[in-house]
Structure 1
Amino acid sequence: MDIEAVRTYCLAKRGVTEELPFGPDALVFKVAGKMFALAALETIPFRVSLKCDPEKALSLRDEYPDHIEGAYHMSKKHWNSLQTESLPPKLVKELIDHSYSLVVSGLSKKLQQELQNL
């Protein structure tokens, strides 16, 4: 998946916004003000960092050592960096969904309910 496909998929999720809080080279996707994806716009090959369950993060790095690694400048325990163009689109979408779900599950019940009502 290229940047436009990742962007379109992320923005289609309920309550997602996009920002450039770290400058023009890093596009951040948030739900309820909490980051779930960070796209490195100037990196070749294109990379996106996604939140991930710690055990799953390690498993993915073992399974795809050339395409998934601990995210640069992020908690390597909770974030993976993916070369999305060299991975199956279905896997990339599943990992975006996983990241989004982790962030939503950490929101207050009130915010989760507000998100459902959007």
Structure 2
Amino acid sequence: MNIETFREYCLQKKGVTEEFPFDEQTLVFKVMGKMFALSGLERVPSQVNLKCDPERGIALREEYDGTIIAGYHMSKTHWNTLFIESLPQNLVLELTDHSYDLVVAKLTKKLKMALDNL
């Protein structure tokens, strides 16, 4: 999967925006203002950081040693870095959905209602 396909997938999800809050190279995807994915566009090969359940994150790092690592410049407990060009596309999409769902689950009631009304 390339970064453009990843971007298109993220943007089709409900309530998602893209921003460059840190610099011109770090693309951040947010749902209702809360970050669920980011990518350093200058990184080769393409990499994305996604939130992940801590236990699942450890298992993924063991199973996909070297292509899924602890989150680069992120909480190593809650974030993973994926080398998306080296992983099956369906896995990247599944983990993107997982990250999105984790963030949505933690939204306030007010934000959840706003998301439901989009």
Whether 1:75 and 2:98 are equivalent positions in the alignment is no
| Structure 2 CA distance for aligned equivalents of residues 50 and 107 of structure 1 | 17
Moved more, 5-14 or 107-116: 107-116
1:55 maps to a residue whose letter is: E
Aligned residues: 118
Partner of residue 40, structure 2: 40
| Structure 2: stretches of 5+ with no match in the other structure | none
CA drift at 1:95: 0.3
1:24 maps to a residue whose letter is: E
TM-score, normalised to structure 1, is 0.98
Secondary structure of the equivalent of 1:69? strand
Partner of residue 30, structure 2: 30
Secondary structure of the equivalent of 1:6? helix
TM-score, normalised to structure 2, is 0.98
Secondary structure of the equivalent of 2:38? strand
CA drift at 1:111: 1.0
CA drift at 1:110: 1.9
| Structure 1 CA distance for aligned equivalents of residues 33 and 113 of structure 2 | 15
1:117 maps to a residue whose letter is: N
Secondary structure of the equivalent of 1:66? coil
CA drift at 1:89: 0.4
The alignment's C-alpha RMSD in Å is 0.6
Identity of aligned residues (%): 61
CA drift at 1:71: 1.1
| Structure 1 CA distance for aligned equivalents of residues 72 and 86 of structure 2 | 18
Moved over 4 A (4+): none
Secondary structure of the equivalent of 1:110? helix
| Structure 2 CA distance for aligned equivalents of residues 109 and 15 of structure 1 | 15
| Structure 1: stretches of 5+ with no match in the other structure | none
Superposition pairs for residues 1-118 of structure 1, below 5 Å? Answer: 1-118=1-118
| Structure 1 CA distance for aligned equivalents of residues 45 and 109 of structure 2 | 38
